[in-house]
């Protein structure tokens, strides 16, 4: 395992194990509140892994007691609407949505407001049994601004999203699992290990097929079924230009394990 320490980053820790790259939010004194500076470091680190051929999948995690307590309320409390509009700091968060490689969120403790939205921007979520999710923005006079009204609604449906966003109540990992928001609940001490195991299983698969699989699944959220099926079929055909398609099918016929080159 290689770990690059805070010489490069102030608010996150970055490490790599095999083909899995991990980013840990590390601003404990503010409960990992997602300040513009932290978010800048986070998107830079994730984009660096995304561009690195040696990485196949990423894990995003926070602390033992807090994944992230949301956007930094202290930094935006006195902002005017024009400050918010012109600085448009949440636009930076969009860069996470554009990552090509899958990201597994490993959540322990609070994932509130922007913290819940950041988890939902990831492609899969593993949560410790003490994790607490929520969109509490209504309690500070706003609504979610980093995708909560859209992603929570798509994941759990209109009625539940209305209840959760309009009351701001927290919900448990178990409730999140039952609503279909997350993949799995595990004992808190196993959250990161479980997320890394999932990331490792994906990172060992042929990288171009993983990338196009992610792209096709995400397409389902912003297209008609007709358009989505068409898109999927084209990506399927495109994979026949990859060396791993030739290797995968040849290995199947020769009854041997495939040797992926991720090309």
Tell whether residue 85 is a contact of ligand CAA (CB under 6 A).
no
Task: List the structure tokens of 248.
Answer: 């995968």
Q: Which of residues 140-179 bind ligand CAA (CB under 6 A)?
A: 140, 144-146, 148
Contact 45, 23 (CB under 8 A): yes
Catalytic residues: 71, 114, 117, 137
Select the span of 54-62, 65-73, 232-240, 248-256 touching ligand CAA (CB under 6 A): 65-73
Contact 109, 64 (CB under 8 A): yes
The stretches of the chain forming alpha helices (DSSP H) are 36-50, 73-76, 81-87, 94-97, 114-121, 148-156, 158-167, 173-178, 191-203, 207-219, 225-238, 243-253
Q: What is the 3-state secondary structure (H, E, C) of 124-178?
A: EEEEECCCEEECHHHHHCCCCCCCHHHHHHHHHCHHHHHHHHHHCCCEEHHHHHH
Cα gap 194→186, rounded to integer Å: 8
Find the shortest distance in angstroms from Cβ 68 to ligand CAA: 8
Strand 103-107 to strand 57-61: parallel, antiparallel, or no bridges (unpaired)? parallel
Q: Segment near ligand CAA (CB under 6 A), from 42-50, 71-79, 177-185, 194-202?
A: 71-79
- How near is the Cβ of 89 to ligand CAA at its closest, in Å? 9
Of 57 and 181, nearer to ligand CAA (C-beta) is 181
Do residues 123 and 104 lie in contact, with contact meaning Cβ atoms separated by under 8 Å? Answer: yes
Q: Which range, of 106-114, 121-129, 219-227, 239-247, touches ligand CAA by CB under 6 A?
A: 106-114
Report if residue 124 touches ligand CAA, rule: CB under 6 A. no
The minimum distance between CB 21 and ligand CAA, in angstroms, equals: 24
**Please, what is the minimum distance in Å from the beta carbon of residue 14 to ligand CAA?**
23
**9 lies in the binding site for ligand CAA (CB under 6 A):** no
Task: By CB under 6 A, tell whether 62 contacts ligand CAA.
Answer: no
State which of residues 21, 56, 102, 114 lies at the interface with ligand CAA (CB under 6 A): 114
By CB under 6 A, residue 38 contacts ligand CAA: no
**Span near ligand CAA by CB under 6 A; candidates 39-47, 68-76, 186-194, 197-205:** 68-76
Question: How would you list the strands of the sheet with 2-4, edge to edge?
Answer: 2-4, 12-17, 20-25, 57-61, 103-107, 124-128, 184-186
**Using rule CB under 6 A, residue 194 touches ligand CAA:** no
Q: Which residues bind ligand CAA (CB under 6 A)?
A: 30-31, 33, 69-74, 110, 112-114, 117, 136-137, 140, 144-146, 148
């Amino acid at each position: 395992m290689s770990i690059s320490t805070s010489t490069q980053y102030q608010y996150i820790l970055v490490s790599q194990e095999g083909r899995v790259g991990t980013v840990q939010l590390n601003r404990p004194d503010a409960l990992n509140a997602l300040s513009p500076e932290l978010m800048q470091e986070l998107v830079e680190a994730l984009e660096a892994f995304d561009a690195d051929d040696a990485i196949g999948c990423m894990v995003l995690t926070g602390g033992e007691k807090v994944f992230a307590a949301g956007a930094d309320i202290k930094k935006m409390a006195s902002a005017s609407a024009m400050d918010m509009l012109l600085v448009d700091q949440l636009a930076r968060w969009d860069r996470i949505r554009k990552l090509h490689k899958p990201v597994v969120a490993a959540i322990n403790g609070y994932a509130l407001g922007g913290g819940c939205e950041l988890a939902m921007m990831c492609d899969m979520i593993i949560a410790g049994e003490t994790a607490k999710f929520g969109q509490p923005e209504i309690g500070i006079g706003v609504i979610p601004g980093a995708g909560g009204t859209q992603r929570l609604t798509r994941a759990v449906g209109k009625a539940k999203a209305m209840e959760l966003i309009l009351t701001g109540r927290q919900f448990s990992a178990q409730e999140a699992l039952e609503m279909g928001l997350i993949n799995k609940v595990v004992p808190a001490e196993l959250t990161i290990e479980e997320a890394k195991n999932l990331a490792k299983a994906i990172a060992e698969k042929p990288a171009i097929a993983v990338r196009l699989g992610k792209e096709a699944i995400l397409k389902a959220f912003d297209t008609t079924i007709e358009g989505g099926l068409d898109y999927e079929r084209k990506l399927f055909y495109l994979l026949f230009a990859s060396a791993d398609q030739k290797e995968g099918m040849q290995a199947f016929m020769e009854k041997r394990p495939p040797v992926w080159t991720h090309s």
